[in-house]
Amino acid sequence: MTLDPQFLQSGNMTQNQLLMYTAQRMSGRKPILNMGMAIEIARELDPQQFRDSFDYVVGKSDALRSVFRFADGGARRMVIEPAELEFELEVLDFSGQPEEAAQWMDQRIRQRINLKKRLFDSALLRIAEDHYIWFLCQHHLICDGISFANVVTHVGNRYAQLEAGDESGFDLPPYSDLVQRDLEYYASDEAAVSREYWERMAEEPLPEFRMYDRGTEDGITDFTRIHRHLDAELVGRIKTAIADETFRAFSQDQGVFLVLLSALILQLRRATGNSVFTVGIPLHNRLTPQEKITIGCFFICSPIRVRYNPDDTFSDLYLQVSKEYRKMLRHYRHPVIAREGERNWDVTFNYVNKTFPDFAGAATKITWLQAGAYMANAFMGTQVHRFNTGGALTVEWDFNLGIFDTPERQETAMRDFEEAIEFGLAGPDAALKEFA
């Protein structure tokens, strides 16, 4: 899609929002961009106080009150008043019925969101006297993973205020500032340089992409999500390899991400037989302390391109991935340019270095929900996060059920990734061709 700053200004939206709005319109009623979290709160709650706290944050957030409507010949993001949302948070009793609560959330997140009326849904599910699950669903147009954590922070802070009898309140930074920030960037010399970078990358056609002998012609809009874990012992070994500079990085977290991304390249090699891979990397795109606490959709997805050489070592692959990632970071703010009719990337790999906060002093436990639908031309998405405290990482595998149509195919993909991690740690100087 061509970048048109004037259209974005009149539409009061970012380029990323325009892309997602277009994708949702093309997908009809499919909930391809519904995002949901089940936020377990280990304490007794006052339901009305919780409602009041949630409503307060909605009233302070222009992102949560955003709707998208077609007017004056184009899509427009509009911020409406709280009363126009016509929403009251439900409180449901599932005491002693955690499985039924999970089924309810699985069904609820699959419901279509009307972009013209309200882009979120929420409910408080009581599981026991001192155990609640806060169900929160938002359309991706108004949120990303960090934004979910920010909502929890702000609602929790307001709840704690009300609990203490403090009516002072607080304001939230506006999301709308991002639109103006992007428009100023697009007019800059920096943006012109980045445009040239993506144009050069687009000159090289991407090879045909098939995973485990299945291609885009097999894709459907039905997806499944499988939760997998990289235990604390494995994550500890990755961190040790970074600390002793087997794999060099600017930070430990960046090193973990780059090791896992390198392992993904090996998995893709085994799955496809290709030698060139393009991976879409979502970046949080929050440049200031204020933006880091703002509710709204900031993320941008940009690709890196990696070339497989069977005689290279895992250390060589890691170094190449690291260099390509650093290059991409210099240009990610400009939208990707692709050849006409060609995909932007093969798969996506999302690493979210964010632990969710407590809620009003109580521990939380997060389960990332999936609505069971996405675009038919997407093969697979991998999200790695540490939303919950502890040394382990959670890996969320989103599989296209037309391509990964059996549990065996899904297991093969996950196992290949985990074996690639072990291969890199066990023999960083071993030739990649040994990973048969």
280-334 per-position pLDDT tens digit? 999 999 999 999 999 999 999 999 999 999 999 999 999 999 999 999 999 999 9
Model-level pTM?
A: 0.96
> Above pLDDT 70, what percent of the chain?
100
Strand bridging mode 34-41 / 120-128: unpaired
**Amino acid 389: pLDDT:** 87
pLDDT for residue 72: 82
C-beta separation of 222 from 373 below 8 A: yes
Token pair recorded at residue 192 = 């012109």
Q: Which residues contact 382 (CB under 8 A, 6 or more apart)?
A: 264, 347, 348, 349, 350, 395, 396, 397, 398, 417
Cα-flanking dihedrals φ and ψ of residue 127, to 5°? -105, -35
Q: What is the DSSP string of 222-284?
A: BEEEEEEEE-HHHHHHHHHHHHTTSS--SSHHHHHHHHHHHHHHHHHHHHH--SEEEEEEEE-
CA distance 141 to 143: 6
Model pLDDT for residues 52-109, shown as the tens digit of each residue: 999 999 999 999 999 999 888 889 999 999 999 999 999 999 999 999 999 999 999 9
Whether residue 1 has pLDDT greater than 70? no
pLDDT digits (tens, 9 = 90+) for 337-347: 887 778 999 99
Cα gap 280→305, rounded to integer Å: 9
Q: Using CA of residue 174, residue 300, residue 251, residue 148, what is the dihedral sign?
A: positive
Shared fold status for 5-163 and 207-357+370-434: yes
Q: 5-163 in CATH: which number?
A: 3.30.559.10
The structural domains of the chain, with segments of one domain joined by +, span: 5-163, 207-357+370-434
pLDDT tens column, 164-189: 999 999 999 999 999 999 999 999 99
Residue 348 has pLDDT above 90, yes or no: yes
pLDDT in tens, 248-278: 999 999 999 999 999 999 999 999 999 999 9
CA dihedral 423, 425, 429, 435 (to 10 degrees): 10
207-357+370-434 placed in CATH 1.10.10.10? no
pLDDT mean over 36-48: 98
Half-sphere exposure (Cβ direction) of 42: Cα atoms closer than 13 Å: 7
Query: Quick one: pLDDT at residue 104?
Result: 99
Position 122 confidence tier, pLDDT thresholds 50, 70, 90? very high
**C-alpha pair distances (Å), 100 with each of 31, 44, 106, 107:** 22, 20, 10, 11
